[in-house]
Chains A and B, each alone.
Chain A
Amino acid sequence: MPTVSDHVDDSFDPLADLRLRFVERTRSRVDRLRQAFSVEAPDIRLIAPLAHQLAGSAGTFGYARLGRAAAALEDAALAAHAAQGLIDQRLLEPHLLAIEHAAVALDAE
């Protein structure tokens, strides 16, 4: 997908401030996701919206890796919940780890 830099010169990034704010918010979102997973019976009504929001906003700010990881978690959580009526943390843990790794790398991107 085209990025902002495809449309404007290098000295002007209208998204710069918003991106910084997004990066700050991402840390707390990932923490909330981890907390939602830490309980005995994770609630799909908490996890799916958190992952969904993260997927949509990360991609829009150009953080494709984080966006893909969040979308994968949302899909896997919804599929597991539809199939089994519950969320199996062990199955979804790799997706959550992928999100955490991608979030740590945001500053470097």
Chain B
Amino acid sequence: MVQRPLRVGCAVGTATGNRSSAVSRPRIRVLVAEDDPDILAVIALALGRVGGMEVTYCADGLAVLKQVPTVAPELILLDVMMPELDGLETLTRLRADPRTAAIPVVFLTARVQPSDLAAYRAKGALAVIGKPFDPMTLAQQLRELHADSLRPR
């Protein structure tokens, strides 16, 4: 697997999308894991209603591993701190399975200290989007990251 450079997707000033451009683009299947119902509701708004993406939601990492074969996501958005199975362990298990090893994974987390970023990089995360995030540009950020992951290195 080609290791992509880790990017911190900062919500401030990096995305350019808006609602009209988002819905005119191909739908991306995204699997989201987030245990906070308030944040999950914002993500649903940002990726579904605003972003026009096909989104499946999970509350923890175990549910992600269960859903992946059915959903066949093109990108996974993972919270880091979750009950049952946290984001890092979830990514480890995804990478260990040849069927899921190549799925790009983006972390959505408030933990963006340099030591945290090093850990995400070591596990093979594509990028990190910091919390708090801008709901109106989240879909565009993911589109850009997904497109980036498809480019040959």
Contacts and interface: CB of A to CB of B under 8 A. Distances in A.
Interface residues of A, number: 25
A85 to B, nearest CB: 21
Query: Chain B CB within 10 Å — which of A15, A49, A53 has the most?
Result: A53
A4 B136 CA distance: 7
A57 B134 contact: no
Given A7-B18, A52-B81, A59 B131 contact: yes
A35 interface: no
A79 to B, nearest CB: 12
A76 B6 CA distance: 28
B42 interface: yes
Nearest to B37: A25
Given A14-B49, A15-B42, A53 B36 contact: yes
A86 B109 CA distance: 25
Counting chain B residues whose Cβ lies within 8 A of the other chain, the interface size class is 20 to 34
Nearest to A53: B36
A60 to B, nearest CB: 4
> Considering the complex of A and B, which 5 residue pairs feature the smallest CB-CB distances, nearest first?
A59-B132, A56-B131, A60-B132, A7-B136, A57-B38
Query: Chain A CB within 10 Å — which of B11, B50, B81, B110 has the most?
Result: B110
B42 A18 contact: yes
A22 B131 contact: no
B41 A60 contact: no
Query: Chain A CB within 10 Å — which of B11, B38, B136 has the most?
Result: B38
B133 interface: yes
8 contacts: A2-B137, A14-B135, A18-B41, A18-B45, A52-B110, A53-B35, A55-B131, A57-B39
Contacts of A49: 81, 83
Contacts of B110: 52, 55-56, 59, 71
A57 B41 CA distance: 10
A26 B110 CA distance: 18
Contacts of B137: 2, 7
A21 B41 contact: yes
Interface string A1-35: 11110111000001100100110010000000000
